[in-house]
Amino acid sequence: MKIIMKPILLLLLVFFVNSCASVKQADEPVSVTAIPTDVSAEAGNGKVTIRWNGVSGADSYSVYMSLSPGASKKNFDGRKSTTSTTYSWVGLSNGTSYYFVVTAQKKDRESNDSSEVTATPKAPEPAPKPPK
């Protein structure tokens, strides 16, 4: 009888440990793991418009801007938040290069940085003068 009970107790113990592990995983907060993709930046007059593909389940997005290459959520000169997948950063200096990355947010969790994009705002070309 003792020989039969040991394997049964062992199976019950394994089942119990696996059940507890499953419960713990269910209690962990939901994280955003997907990174915004296909990020692009279009320069305008004193502004840059950044666009990206949305992340399923994201509550909002953060757009990080840097004045030098290597923009990230740890290395930035400005940060804006939006619920859209497009953001126009206005008030920028024409002729200055700006670097951007985007992250997705869900509750208190934030994804890794997107690929960096860059754009240099410029004033519109003056209209040609009419012939005399």
Residue-wise pLDDT tens digits, 2-34: 555 555 554 444 454 455 444 444 444 445 679
Percent of the chain, pLDDT > 70? 76
Residue 126: per-residue pLDDT: 85
Specify the residue for token string 């705002």. Answer: 121
Residue 108: per-residue pLDDT: 87
Strand stretches in the chain, DSSP E: 37-43, 47-53, 60-66, 78-82, 86-90, 98-106, 109-110, 117-119
Residue positions counted in the chain = 132
Residue 125: per-residue pLDDT: 85
Nearest C-alpha neighbor of 102 from the set 54, 59, 56: 54
What is the pTM for the complete model shown?
0.72
Residue 18: per-residue pLDDT: 52
pLDDT of residue 55 exceeding 90 = yes
Confidence bin at 47 (pLDDT 50/70/90): very high
Average pLDDT over residues 107-122: 96
Residue 30: per-residue pLDDT: 46
Can you read off the two tokens belonging to residue 132?
Answer: 């005399």
Nearest C-alpha neighbor of 99 from the set 84, 114, 82, 83: 114
| Contact between residue 97 and residue 122 where contact means Cβ atoms under 8 Å apart | no
Residue 25: per-residue pLDDT: 45
